[in-house]
Structure 1
């Protein structure tokens, strides 16, 4: 296991007189032993986004991969870090967010047999740079319908970070579109830090003060602040994991539980078989093998005790419509705008 940035030795640097030679050498060694590494923008022990990244690469070990990671990768060091692992024969190099795509595009031509993957990105480059994510619009739409049906004030709210990032636009915009269609007034707020629970809590209090009685959001560690605010003010809320259910079991309606081991594992198996991807691969209800995420209140229940059987049936019917292609949703920046 590698937990810090590897530095090339002087001897290795001398050998790298030819990028083409180094790429060929790295690609050849990649298939002698299947190896996967991930680059993390923060600490692997943050109990949030970067810890998720660490768990993603570890999930590839049952697929036969030796794994490694580098944490706290600065923007300026991304291309070097990507090249470092490719040179060492890693046949899958992951970057934990879409910000790594540019660095991968720089390095990929020198390593044509290495698969580069941006986790939660939204673009790729042929033949071997890809992004993987679940369909945020589909799940955001389900939460919008659920929120509208559970609201007594007909006012609902969403709290997000990273305004303008495509997967945030998809989820927040779809939440607004589908909640509005179901008869609710929607207000969306953005906070500066996805990890700041205090910011999320304050934003939630603001929404509740304006009449919202169902809240949602897509945050990292800050999600706990959103749920805590809902608990204190006794309004319904959705989360991103069972730890949020534990905070307010009577008020959490459901969680979007992301299945990264399934999404990344499916790709890893194909890479081992010799297939490479150069596109954005998105998993959802219409993707077949795995949906990439699911609505779960607990390990064995999709919805919390407050959700009636009739409401649950309506939300499930929406999933079936996405699966059949009957329903499609394509949110815009305007749909995901801040405010009402």
Structure 2
């Protein structure tokens, strides 16, 4: 097995050949040690031979692990969570570790491995982690589990759930106003409730802007297959769709590539993806996983974190739209920004629709 570790100071990956510690985990793991761990060691040893005080000896280094369904190099969903983990490391001095591209069959094993190692918090990044967390959490009552984009909670586990149907409504409104053909589309990975809710929000926003707009959503059954996403997008473009929104993680790169090649507009997901195609990506629905995870960690450190489901919409700043990068006419931009403000103020309520509609 090839094991990848990370040099904290330089940030340069180092590839080491060997067995994974314990011999039971069948996955890649990267372990990153926070600077605070080194500072704590220095305190305990003491400066100039002086013994550490009782207060210094009680300083706590939190141990936080992140389990990802995809790669941190996906330029989207998984990369955003990885950045959130790095913020926890840097701000709180935590010892952190992560596992990427973990198969569904190994979710429970991965959670158990981190729990056995004594990690304080184990995070599953995605709706699909909800059931495994519910199974594993009761076996490790001293470990806290966060499930991002889930809707589950219990004595030692809870969910950090974005309300991106609000952001999706706003970009649906934008897509309809920017379309010249009267046809817009969405490309999404799987029909998970949290994904469907966003695509249904996109439909509602588009139809609010133009009741006669045609909206098509295609679920491609992958978050990783760039070629499949590109093929599906090209088919949508051939059918006349000229603004396409994606919620497809790494596969979304294929959506943007197709739009760029065929000179139609794309709308990105999770972070500002305009950098991937500056003349193509109108905006993106940003889900600030870094802010979400940082706030949860801050509450944990203060002893204020609760096991209720934590929800984050446009009003929290976790969900927001990226810049329009000069691609959107001022009058349309003003109308979309007003829609965002109306959602924040509660004048527009975007419902949660968890089953696909026509």
Q: Is the 8 A contact 1:127 1:276 kept in 2?
A: no
Say whether residues 1:269 and 2:301 are aligned partners: no
Q: Residue 209 of structure 2: which of 172, 176, 182 is its match?
A: 182
Could you list the per-position Cα deviations for residues 218-262 of structure 1 after superposition, in whole angstroms to 9, with x for gaps in the alignment?
A: 111221211121122221211136774234322321112221110
1:91 and 1:240, CA in 2 relative to 1: closer, same or farther beyond 3 A? same
Say whether residues 1:328 and 2:349 are aligned partners: yes
1:72 and 1:238, CA in 2 relative to 1: closer, same or farther beyond 3 A? closer
**Corresponding residue of 1:36:** 64
Could you list the per-position Cα deviations for residues 147-194 of structure 1 after superposition, in whole angstroms to 9, with x for gaps in the alignment?
A: 01111221111111102x012111100111111122121111111222
TM-score by length of 1: 0.81
Say whether residues 1:145 and 2:184 are aligned partners: no
More displaced stretch, 34-43 vs 180-189: 34-43
Q: What displacement does 1:294 show?
A: 2.2
Q: Residue 330 of structure 2: which of 289, 296, 309 is its match?
A: 309
Distance in 2, Cα, partners of 1:31 & 1:90:
16
Over aligned residues, Cα RMSD in angstroms?
A: 2.7
Structure 2: runs of 5 or more not aligned: 7-18, 25-57
Distance in 1, Cα, partners of 2:280 & 2:295:
35
More displaced stretch, 311-320 vs 83-92: 83-92
TM-score by length of 2: 0.77
**Corresponding residue of 1:293:** 319
Distance in 1, Cα, partners of 2:336 & 2:83:
30
**Corresponding residue of 1:318:** 339
Q: Residue 137 of structure 2: which of 98, 108, 123 is its match?
A: 108
Q: Is the 8 A contact 1:250 1:305 kept in 2?
A: no
In structure 2, the residue corresponding to 1:59 is in which secondary structure? Answer: helix
Distance in 1, Cα, partners of 2:165 & 2:338:
16
| Count of aligned residue pairs for this structure pair | 307
Give the alignment of 1:218-297 within 5 angstroms: 218-240=247-269, 244-286=273-315, 290-296=316-322
Distance in 2, Cα, partners of 1:242 & 1:75:
25
Q: Residue 78 of structure 1: which of 100, 107, 113 is its match?
A: 107
Q: Is the 8 A contact 2:146 2:159 kept in 1?
A: yes
Could you list the per-position Cα deviations for residues 110-144 of structure 1 after superposition, in whole angstroms to 9, with x for gaps in the alignment?
A: 444532111222x1222221121321210110011
Q: What displacement does 1:308 show?
A: 1.3
Distance in 2, Cα, partners of 1:224 & 1:2:
26
**Corresponding residue of 1:129:** 157
Q: What displacement does 1:5 show?
A: 5.5
Distance in 2, Cα, partners of 1:84 & 1:222:
29
Q: What displacement does 1:266 show?
A: 0.3
In structure 1, the residue corresponding to 2:200 is in which secondary structure? Answer: helix
Q: Residue 55 of structure 1: which of 44, 63, 83 is its match?
A: 83
Greater RCO, 1 or 2 (C-alpha within 8 Å, sep 6+): 1
**Corresponding residue of 1:12:** none
1:321 and 1:74, CA in 2 relative to 1: closer, same or farther beyond 3 A? same
Structure 1: runs of 5 or more not aligned: 10-29, 297-301
1:49 and 1:257, CA in 2 relative to 1: closer, same or farther beyond 3 A? closer
Q: Residue 197 of structure 1: which of 226, 251, 268 is its match?
A: 226
Distance in 2, Cα, partners of 1:171 & 1:5:
38
Q: What displacement does 1:98 show?
A: 2.3
Could you list the per-position Cα deviations for residues 240-291 of structure 1 after superposition, in whole angstroms to 9, with x for gaps in the alignment?
A: 36774234322321112221110011001111122343233221123xxx42
**Corresponding residue of 2:52:** none
